[in-house]
Amino acid sequence: MKIVMIGEAATHRDEIAAELGFEAEYVALPREAHESPEWDEQIDGADVLVAMRFKRPNKAEVPRFRLLHVPGAGLDGIDFSIMPAGSVACNVFEHEIPMAEYAMATMLEHEIDLGKARATFDTERFSAAYLARKPRGELFGKTVIIVGFGRIGQAVATRAQAFGMKVIAISGRAENGHVEGPCSEAYRAEQIDEILPRADYVVLSCPLNDGTRGSFGCTQFDAMREDAVLINIARAAVVDEDALHAALTEQKIAKAFLDVWYQYPAGSSDTVAPAKHRFEDLPNAFCTPHISGWTHGLFERRYSFIAANIARLKSGEKLQNVVYGEA
Amino acid sequence: MKIVMIGEAATHRDEIAAELGFEAEYVALPREAHESPEWDEQIDGADVLVAMRFKRPNKAEVPRFRLLHVPGAGLDGIDFSIMPAGSVACNVFEHEIPMAEYAMATMLEHEIDLGKARATFDTERFSAAYLARKPRGELFGKTVIIVGFGRIGQAVATRAQAFGMKVIAISGRAENGHVEGPCSEAYRAEQIDEILPRADYVVLSCPLNDGTRGSFGCTQFDAMREDAVLINIARAAVVDEDALHAALTEQKIAKAFLDVWYQYPAGSSDTVAPAKHRFEDLPNAFCTPHISGWTHGLFERRYSFIAANIARLKSGEKLQNVVYGEA
C-alpha cells in the first residue's frame, strides 16, 4: 500500500504507522505539493493521499489515487472537480474539543485578563494592588451567539452552558426559534441582524462557503453592541476584512479575538501577510496564528481515525466520514 | 435602623440602600476598624455591622450590635468569642461563580497560553509562526482533584466536567469512593496522598480551619506529578509556605497559580509582603492579588442578599445563612 502525505501531515507518519497493523510505503512531500504539479509523479498511483489541500493549475493533468484523506474538517482547500475517477475523499473532525477550549479561553481572557493581573503582581506593590482591586465581569448570565451550530459550535455551547451562559445558535437547521442541541434559542442566518444586539459574545464557527463568504460585514458590526466581543475561529473570509478593521478602529465593538487569517503561506519558505490591515496594531484585536485547534490530542485522535480508515480501505470495509465519492 | 459598614463593605452602601425599602442611618468606617477599638463608639448600638473581620485586642470591651453580616463566606476573620450577647452572625456566598471561572481560566491559561501566542503575532512573523506552531495540551481527558467540595469546589467541578475532565473530589462527606455532586470519585482528606499522583490539576477550595491549616505540605508536593499544576483559591495558609516554595524551586510540580496570600494589609495605608518568599520571581508561580472572586456580579448578588437579610431583621423574619447565634 502506498501512502503519500503532504506538508504538515507528513510529520504524522509515525502515528499512522503505529496504528496500522501492516507494512506500507510512505512518501513525504513538501507543502508546495498541495497545489503544484511538480511532485505529481510521486503521488500518482497512491492508495492514499493525506493532504489538507488539493488544487492544480492545469486541471487536465492530475495524479491518480484511490482515497484523499483530508487531515482536517475544512474542505475549502480541495478542488473536487479534479478528483480522479472512482476516488473517494474523507475528512476528520476531533478539533471541536480544542477549538471549544480556545473559545472559552478567549471569553475568560476578556473577563479576567489573568496576564495583566500577574504582570502587576510583586511583593512591593501587593498591598496597593490588593486594596485597589477593581471588580471584573463574569461569563455567568452573559449571552453568546454561536454562528454555525455544527460540531464546533455545539462543543462551545456545552461548555458555555456549564458557565451559566445563555446560548443562542444561528443554524440552517433552526425552526421556530429552536434547534436540537445545547442552546436555548436558535435562528436562521437571515435573522442574525435582529439577534446580534443581544450578544455579549459572538463566536463564528460556520464553514466557509458561497453563502458565508463575507457574510459578516458592516451591517452585522453595526448591529453588535459596543461592549460585545467577536471570536472568529471559522475562516477569516467569513468576515469582511475592511468592515472588521473599521469596526475595531471605530470601536463599534469592544474586542475581536482573531485566530484565522486572510492569507496563509503556501510553501514552507513562503512569507505572506495574514491580512491587508495590521490587526495586531489595534489594541482591541487579539490576534493568534491559527492555534485554536492545534493540540496533541487533536493529532492523536485524527491520525488514529485516518489509520482506521486506511485499514478499512485495505480490507474493503465501508469508509467513515466520506465527503466525496462512493463510501 | 443603624447600619455600620467597615472597609471595602462601606463602598457598597448604595447597593444596600437601593434594595432596602426604608430609610436607614449608614455609618462608614475605615478598614482599621475591623480590629482596632478606636471606632467602637460609632459601632456601638448598631442594628447591623457589615464587616469582613471582627477582632479586638481587649476582649472585655466590645461594641454592641444585633447582626454581624459578613460580606463574604470565610469566617476566619471573626472572633466569635467576643460576639455581643444575643447577637447573630450571617455570611454570604455567591463567589463560587467567579471563583470557578477563575479556576477554569487558570487551567486554560496553562494549556493554551493565549498571551504568549498574541505576543508573538505580527504581520512580519506570521508565516513563520504559523508554520512553526507546536501542538499544545487540552483539558479534555485530564484529571482535576478538587480539595474541598463545597459550593466553590462543585462550581469548578460542573465546569470541568463540561470540558470532559475527570473530577475527583476530596471531601469530608466522601464515603466508599463517592460523594453527591459533579464528580466521578470522592475520597476523604486522609486518602489524598494516594490520589494525588493521578492529578493533572489540583484545585484547593477548602475552608481554612485547624484541620486544613498547613495540610498541603512536602508530602503532598512529593505525591504530585512533575507535570501537575496546583491552583490555590482557598486560603494561603492551607499550604505550607516553605514547602510550596521548595516544590516550585525544585520543580516538583509544573506550576502553581496562587491567588491567596499569607499576609494582607490591615489598613488602607498598610504595606505588607504577601509572603515570606518572593513567589513572583519564580517562573512557575503565577501570582495574582486575590482577584478570583472579585466581580461586579459578586457584589450585586451579595449586597442584594445582605439587604434582604436586613429587611428580615427589621420585620422579625427568619434570617438566612446564620453562622452564629439564634436564627
Task: Tell me the pLDDT tens digit for each residue of A108-159.
Answer: 999 999 999 999 999 999 999 999 999 999 999 999 999 999 999 999 999 9
Residue B86: burial class (beta carbons within 10 Å; 0-12, 13-18, 19+): exposed
Q: Choose between A327 and B197: higher pLDDT.
A: B197
What is the per-residue DSSP string for B294-312?
A: -BHHHHHHHHHHHHHHHHH
* Contact list, A115 vs chain B (CB under 8 Å): 109, 114-115
Q: For residue A200, what are the β-bridge partners?
A: none
Distance, in Å, from the CA atom of B130 to the CA atom of B298, rounded to the nearest integer, reads 40
User: What residues of chain A, 273 to 312, have a C-beta less than 8 Å from chain B?
Assistant: 273-275, 278, 280, 286-291, 294-299
Q: What is the mean pLDDT of residues A5-12?
A: 95
Whether A241 and chain B come into contact, CB under 8 Å, resolves to no
* Chain-chain contact of A130 with B298 (C-beta, under 8 angstroms): no
A295 Cα to chain B: minimum distance (Å): 4
Chain B: closest CA distance from residue A278 (Å): 6
What is the band of A184 on the pLDDT scale with cuts at 50, 70, 90?
A: very high
Average pLDDT, chain A: 96
| Burial (CB count <10 Å: 0-12, 13-18, 19+), residue A317 | exposed
Question: What local confidence, expressed as pLDDT, does residue A61 receive?
Answer: 84
Is there a contact between B128 and A271 if contact means CB atoms under 8 Å apart?
A: yes
The CA distance from A313 to B129, in Å, is: 36
H or E stretch at A310: helix A296-315
- Which 90-129 residues of chain A touch chain B by CB within 8 A? 97-98, 101-102, 104-106, 108-109, 111-112, 114-115, 117-118, 120-123, 126-129
Interval B51-71: pLDDT, tens: 999 999 888 789 999 999 999
**Given A118, A127, A291, which is nearest B286 (Cβ)?**
A118
- Show the DSSP H helices in chain A as ranges: 13-19, 40-43, 96-112, 114-119, 126-131, 151-162, 192-195, 218-223, 241-249, 296-315
Name every residue whose Cβ is closer than 8 Å to that of residue A80 and which is 6 or more positions away in sequence. A89, A324
The Cα-based distances of B194 to A53, B198, B211, B222, B225 in angstroms read 49, 9, 19, 11, 12
Residue A271 above 70 pLDDT?
yes
Domain B96-287: top CATH class: alpha beta
Residue B178: is its pLDDT beyond 80? yes
A266 touches chain B (CB under 8 A): no
Picking from B243, B234, B159, the residue whose alpha carbon sits closest to that of residue B189 is: B234
Domain segments of chain A as ranges: 2-94+296-324, 96-287
Nearest-by-Cβ selection for B162 from A133, A159, A271? A159
- Residue type at position B260: V
As a whole number of angstroms, the distance between CA B172 and CA B186 comes to 9
Q: Closest partner residue to A108 among B104, B139, B288, by Cβ?
A: B104
Domains B2-94+296-324 and B96-287 share a fold: yes
> Which grid coordinates belong to B186?
470522592
Q: How far apart are CA A53 and CA B23, in angstroms?
A: 71
Which chain A residue has its CA at the smallest distance from B281's CA?
A122
What is the percent of chain B with per-residue pLDDT over 70, rounded to a whole number?
100
Residue count of chain B, please give it: 327
Point out the residue among B126, B138, B294 whose CB comes nearest to the CB of A97. Answer: B138
pLDDT score of A83: 96
* Radius of gyration from C-alpha coordinates of chain B: 22
Phi-psi region of A253 (alpha: psi -120 to 50; beta: other; left: phi over 0): beta
> Nearest residue on chain B to A136, judged by CA atoms?
B295
Q: pLDDT at residue B21 above 90?
A: no
Chain A closest CA to B205's CA: distance in Å? 18
Q: How confident is the model at residue A267 (pLDDT cuts 50, 70, 90)?
A: confident
CATH number for the domain running over A2-94+296-324: 3.40.50.720
Among the partner residues A108, A161, A290, nearest to B101 by beta-carbon distance: A108
Answer for the pair A276, A262: CB distance below 8 angstroms, yes or no.
yes
CA torsion sign for A268, A274, A278, A283 is negative
Q: Distance of alpha carbon B167 from its chain centroid, rounded?
A: 20
Strand pairing partners for A322? Answer: A90
Q: What is the largest distance, in Å, between two alpha-carbon atoms of chain A?
A: 72
ipTM of the complex model = 0.89
Would you state the pLDDT for residue A268?
79
Q: What is the pLDDT of residues A281-310, one digit of tens each?
A: 999 999 999 999 999 999 999 999 999 999
- Size of chain A in residues: 327
List helix spans (H) across chain B: 13-19, 40-43, 96-112, 114-119, 126-131, 151-162, 192-195, 218-223, 241-249, 296-315
Q: How many CA atoms lie within 13 A of B321 on its CB side?
A: 21
Q: Taking CA atoms, what residue in A is nearest to B290?
A: A130
| pLDDT score for B327 | 63
pLDDT, tens only, A214-244: 999 999 999 999 999 999 999 999 999 999 9
- Residue A327: predicted pLDDT: 63
Contacts of B286 in chain A (CB under 8 A): 114, 118
Q: How much is the pTM?
A: 0.90
